[in-house]
């Protein structure tokens, strides 16, 4: 049986699609599996904040449409990207065992050395923003009075490049100056 798997073009999505392929081939070794990937609206629009994207399923709708049109036999999505109500012509048919759900926080060395009381975290996730603002000050080994988040879009390599380039540094400096002048 020939089977075409479609996923987003990001490295993470392609790894997830490979995991699905390996799982299927372990159970059905005679399958002939191919993988396709393509960007979605959420991938193409890097400027809009996630909350402003009016299209529900900004990271899934294009792929679900491709599935419904027969361009693929199955699509691999992250649960976090799925809208509450999917297209009526598609169905969630299965899910793999969940991998480690913990997030990873990377902090530039100069921020650690400075032990700034104000931290600016690059994240466009409202859930993660709320969680970090509430919990991060008590988790770091120095006194942090305030955590703010600056929206950042892109895949993992893009986000790491923005962090290394100092995205958000101007905001950190402005907040520190404001604090000193109070």
User: With DSSP H G I counted as helix, E B as strand and the rest as coil, what are the percentages for the chain, rounded to 5?
Assistant: 40, 15, 45
Distance separating alpha carbons of residues 85 and 22, to the nearest angstrom? 28
Domain ranges of the chain: 2-81, 109-180
Asked if the 2-81 domain carries CATH number 3.40.430.10, the reply is no
* Average pLDDT of span 11-19: 92
* Average pLDDT of span 132-160: 87
Do residues 74 and 3 lie in contact, with contact meaning Cβ atoms separated by under 8 Å? yes
Entry pTM: 0.68
Predicted pLDDT at 169: 63
């Amino acid at each position: 049986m020939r089977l075409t798997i479609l996923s987003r073009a990001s490295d993470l999505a392609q790894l997830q699609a490979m995991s699905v392929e390996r799982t299927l081939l372990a159970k059905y070794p005679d399958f002939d599996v191919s993988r396709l990937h393509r960007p979605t609206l959420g991938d193409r629009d890097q400027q809009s904040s996630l909350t402003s994207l009016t299209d529900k399923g900004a990271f899934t709708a294009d792929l679900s449409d491709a599935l419904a049109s027969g361009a693929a036999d199955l699509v691999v999505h992250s649960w976090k990207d799925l809208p509450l109500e999917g297209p009526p012509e598609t169905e969630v048919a299965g899910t793999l065992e969940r991998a480690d759900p913990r997030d990873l926080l990377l902090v530039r060395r100069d921020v650690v050395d400075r032990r700034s009381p104000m931290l600016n975290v690059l994240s466009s996730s409202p859930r993660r923003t709320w969680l970090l603002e509430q919990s991060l000050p008590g988790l770091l080994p120095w006194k942090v009075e305030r955590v703010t988040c600056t929206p950042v879009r892109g895949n993992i390599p893009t986000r790491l490049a923005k962090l290394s380039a100092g995205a958000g540094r101007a905001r950190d400096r402005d907040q520190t100056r404001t604090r000193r002048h109070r």
